[in-house]
Structure 1
Amino acid sequence: MLDDTDKRLLFALQKNAHLTAQDLGEVLNLSPSQAGRRRQRLEAEGYITGYAARLSPARLGLTVQAFIQVQMTSHDPEQARSFARLLTTRPEIISAWTLTGEADFLLRVYCDNLPALNTLIHEVLLPHGAVARVQSQIVMDQMKPDAPFPV
């Protein structure tokens, strides 16, 4: 079980993964060694699964963000596995979810430009034998950046 101190530690690390044990100790009113041990325990228990840098898509030239809903022709397990394998090979697909409702998959993609998004949809996704329909929504602006989990 997480106590309030653990939750505050997790929230602080989500905002800044560079925090040292000294920094965490100050935030949590703990000694640096206590804060460091708590972080290690939370890592060992799987609450913290890794650390990553957040990159600027615009600076990288990824000017088009879109969400793509994919409806499958069938729910055959092998077709679904084949489609899932395809998703893992495409770097522009940064996350994918299976859904309830009309769409079977929701993909979040970043592309260099609209022709690259068009290529992904018409030359990669639609030709897959399991895909019945694709619907895309291009992001005009992100009103709220990806936020920390509410711990």
Structure 2
Amino acid sequence: MKNSYNELDEVDLRILALLQDEGRLSNARLAERLKLSETPVWRRLRRLEDEGYIKAYQAVIDRKKLGIGLVAFVRVTFANHAGEQPHQFEEAIQRIPEILSCHNVTGESDYLLQVVARDIESYGDFVSTVLRRLPGVAEIHSSLSMREIKSSNRLPMPGRQN
């Protein structure tokens, strides 16, 4: 079983790149773009899924059209790192849809969150009723996005020029 991108060949990387750009490509269209027959492309695609290179397929939705106008980057600091609180915090984060990402980071804070909300008022409510009540949270520092310059989930493919 392959578990390192170093073991992926150029065709595998091209499949991943094409699907990042257009996740709804049919196997036939994918094979056409790769200039290969459908069966080998289907096998490669299944292998990339089975080995976890492709975790899921999803649509990219315009958050503003859903009325989600605010993005906040939130630094969370713990007073005490011992015991179960960090683990409980991380489990709780998984169940909160407003938190798009959570990273355990180095530096002055322990975690960096990306949070979305309808507006500043709803974000304030979220901080008061959700974030401050999470296990272990001692300090919260928010930076609100004034303007989004780039937002992407697309990863650079190893060995490919951008």
Q: Which residue of 2 aligns with 1:87?
A: 93
Q: Distance in 2 between matches of 1:140 and 1:32?
A: 46
Amino acid at match of 2:111: F
Q: Which residue of 1 aligns with 2:37?
A: 31
The Cα shift of 1:133 comes to: 1.1
Partner of 1:12, secondary structure, is helix
Is 1:104 the counterpart of 2:110? The answer is yes
Aligned to 1:22, which of 18, 22, 28?
28
Q: Which runs of 5+ in 1 are unaligned?
A: none
1:50-89 correspondence to structure 2 within 5 Å = 50-89=56-95
Q: What do you get for the CA RMSD once the two structures are aligned?
A: 1.4
The Cα shift of 1:137 comes to: 0.9
The Cα shift of 1:86 comes to: 2.6
The Cα shift of 1:147 comes to: 4.3
The Cα shift of 1:90 comes to: 2.0
Amino acid at match of 1:55: I
The answer to whether the 8 A contact 2:103-2:111 is kept is: yes
The answer to whether the 8 A contact 2:88-2:135 is kept is: no
Partner of 1:27, secondary structure, is helix
TM-score by length of 2: 0.86
Provide, for residues 85-130 of structure 1, a one-character-per-residue CA deviation record: whole Å limited to 9, x for no partner: 3322322112111111111111111101111111122332224451
Q: Distance in 2 between matches of 1:64 and 1:2?
A: 39
Q: Distance in 1 between matches of 2:129 and 2:27?
A: 49
Amino acid at match of 1:78: E
Amino acid at match of 2:102: A
Q: Which residue of 2 aligns with 1:7?
A: 13
Partner of 1:140, secondary structure, is coil
Q: Which runs of 5+ in 2 are unaligned?
A: 1-6, 158-162
Greater mean deviation of Cα atoms: 32-41 or 84-93? 84-93
Partner of 1:59, secondary structure, is helix
TM-score by length of 1: 0.92
Q: Which residue of 1 aligns with 2:156?
A: 150
The Cα shift of 1:36 comes to: 1.4
CA separation of 1:58 and 1:24: change in aligned 2, threshold 3 A? same
Amino acid at match of 1:84: E
